[in-house]
């Protein structure tokens, strides 16, 4: 499959949002994925086992781990300028206090389910001690984050273990990214359809150069009545196959969260040279992309976003004294190159466009899943969607 086709279809030929003919702004990178940003690698461990009534500790299991290496395996320990933003704090992302303090981080980002954050943290520490022992000899502060998959998964069963995190980190590579029900997105729902992983990218011309901005989402948010695609409010026309609709009482009986709940994590990457504050500004634009898909930001949805730059910033190395910095200039001062604040608008637009498309890809590249206690998460009906979008 050619690079052009990978921007619109999965490697096995299934359509992504663009492959359905959905109108989306901007120019995607060759893979239309987070891995279009040079050096970024992604690995996943998917855990699916069992059917029927839930027995805590035995399953059914519908969960997993996604690992993002901002500079790849060989770049672990090399800092990236970074910033984060919380639209709603009903969720978890570790390592953010250090990002606020240093304006950077230097370890992988790991996504899984809400009750697996501890296992993810331990897994990253063990993996770092194995692949970069000099880095781990003092302390490491992983970025571990989550969304809730308890409607389909035995979330209290301790099924995600540190070994699964290490496996996802070891599997990380560039190239196409698994979307839909894979890795940390395995048991997730989005707009009351099957959700999970989605990714997209945009090319941003800048003088004689072209920068890449890309997003990866673990999408587990939104009520069906809110769903909007390419500016069309289609959710109300797609309520018929919703096992729960928006009935709070029925959802509570089924062990499901209230409408719109569940959470969304977005990871934004770019190769544009940015200050930490500019990375935070990119993270603050994520909600604008989410809003284009219809969400109004439920109180019960933890919506937390991280943005980082892979551009080389030598001055950031001094934030990590456990790694040798090397000789500096005679006056002991570092230098940083960055985009002027007044030239950021094109990057902001790229974030909004990438996030919108990433959410749609999470919905389009998916299949129905039945999980614990027979709970069903239906696939977005693509034929009905395209018919609605085709109406005048």
Q: How far apart are CA 123 and CA 163, in angstroms?
A: 6
pLDDT, residue 326, reads: 47
- Asked if residue 245 has pLDDT above 80, the reply is no
Residue 320 has pLDDT above 80, yes or no: no
What mean pLDDT is predicted for residues 186-215? 98
The per-residue pLDDT for 22 is 97
- Predicted local confidence at residue 325, as pLDDT: 41
The per-residue pLDDT for range 138-194, each reduced to its tens digit, is 889 999 999 999 999 999 999 999 999 999 999 999 999 999 999 999 999 999 999
128-147 mean pLDDT: 92
369's enclosing H/E stretch is strand 369-370
Is 72:42 a contact under the CB 8 Å cutoff?
Answer: no
Task: Tell me what pLDDT residue 323 has.
Answer: 45
CA 220 to chain CA mean position, Å: 10
Which range among 9-23, 165-179, 265-279, 329-343 shows the weakest confidence by mean pLDDT? Answer: 329-343
Computed over every residue of the chain, the mean pLDDT equals 92
| Structure-block tokens of residue 246 | 């928006």
Could you give the CA distance from residue 310 to residue 330 in angstroms, rounded to a whole number?
27
Where are the domains positioned within the chain? Answer: 17-241+258-315+337-382
The whole-number pLDDT of residue 321 equals 47
The residues that are catalytic are 263, 301, 303
Q: Which of 240, 266, 251, 279 is nearest to 362 (CA)?
A: 266
The pLDDT tens digits of the residues spanning 7-27 come to 999 999 999 999 999 999 999
Reported confidence tier of residue 257, pLDDT bands at 50, 70, 90? confident
Query: How far, CA to CA in Å, does 292 sit from each of 25, 233, 271?
Result: 12, 10, 25
- Name the band, by pLDDT with cuts 50, 70 and 90, for residue 247: low
- Say if residue 298 is preceded by a cis peptide, omega within 30 of 0: no
In contact, 65 and 112? CB cutoff 8 Å: yes
- Which of 44-58, 123-137, 158-172 is predicted with the least confidence, judged by mean pLDDT? 123-137
Q: Which of 27-41, 157-171, 203-217, 310-324 has the lowest mean pLDDT?
A: 310-324
Decide: residue 113, CB within 10 A, 0-12 exposed, 13-18 middle, 19+ buried: buried
Pick from 57-66, 228-237, 257-266, 312-321: least confident: 312-321
| C-alpha 299 chain-centroid distance | 20
Phi and psi at residue 346, to the nearest 5°: -65, -35
What is the average pLDDT across 57-78?
Answer: 97
- pLDDT digits over 360-370, tens only? 999 999 999 99
Q: Which CATH class, in words, describes the domain spanning 17-241+258-315+337-382?
A: alpha beta
**Using one digit for the tens of pLDDT, what is the confidence trace for 161-176?**
999 999 999 999 999 9
How much is the pTM?
0.94
């Amino acid at each position: 499959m050619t690079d052009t086709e990978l921007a619109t279809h999965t490697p096995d030929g299934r359509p992504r949002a663009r492959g359905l003919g959905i109108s989306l702004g901007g120019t995607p990178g060759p893979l239309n994925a987070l891995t279009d940003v040079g050096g970024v690698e992604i690995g996943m461990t998917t855990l699916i086992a069992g059917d029927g009534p839930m027995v805590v500790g035995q399953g059914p299991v519908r969960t997993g781990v996604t690992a993002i290496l901002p500079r790849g395996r060989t770049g672990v320990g090399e800092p990236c300028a970074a910033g984060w933003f919380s639209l709603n704090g009903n969720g978890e992302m570790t390592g953010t206090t250090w990002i606020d303090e240093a304006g950077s981080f230097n370890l992988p980002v790991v996504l899984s389910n809400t009750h697996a954050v501890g296992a993810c943290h331990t897994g990253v520490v063990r993996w770092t001690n194995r692949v970069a022992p000099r880095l781990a000899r003092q302390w490491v502060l992983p970025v571990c984050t989550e969304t809730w998959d308890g409607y389909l998964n035995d979330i209290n069963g301790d099924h995600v273990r540190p070994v699964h995190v290490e496996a996802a980190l070891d599997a990380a590579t560039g190239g196409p990214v698994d979307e839909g029900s894979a890795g940390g997105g395995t048991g997730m729902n989005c707009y009351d359809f099957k959700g999970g992983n989605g990714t997209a990218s945009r090319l941003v011309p800048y003088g004689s150069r072209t920068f890449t901005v890309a997003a990866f989402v673990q999408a587990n948010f939104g009520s069906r009545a809110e769903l909007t695609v390419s500016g069309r409010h289609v959710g109300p026309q797609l309520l018929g196959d919703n096992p729960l609709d928006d009935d709070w009482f029925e959802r509570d009986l089924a062990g499901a969260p209230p409408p719109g709940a569940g959470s969304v994590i977005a990871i934004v990457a770019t190769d544009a040279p940015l200050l930490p504050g500019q990375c935070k500004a990119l993270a603050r634009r994520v909600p604008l992309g989410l809003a284009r898909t219809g969400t109004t930001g439920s109180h019960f949805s933890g919506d937390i976003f991280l943005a980082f730059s892979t551009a080389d910033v030598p001055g950031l190395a001094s934030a990590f004294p456990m790694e040798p910095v090397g000789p500096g200039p005679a006056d002991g001062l570092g230098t940083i190159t960055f985009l002027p604040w007044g030239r950021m608008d094109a990057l902001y637009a790229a974030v909004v466009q990438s996030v919108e498309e990433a959410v749609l890809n999470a919905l389009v590249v998916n299949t129905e899943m039945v999980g614990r206690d027979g709970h069903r998460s239906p696939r977005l009906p693509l034929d009905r969607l395209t018919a609605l979008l085709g109406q005048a």
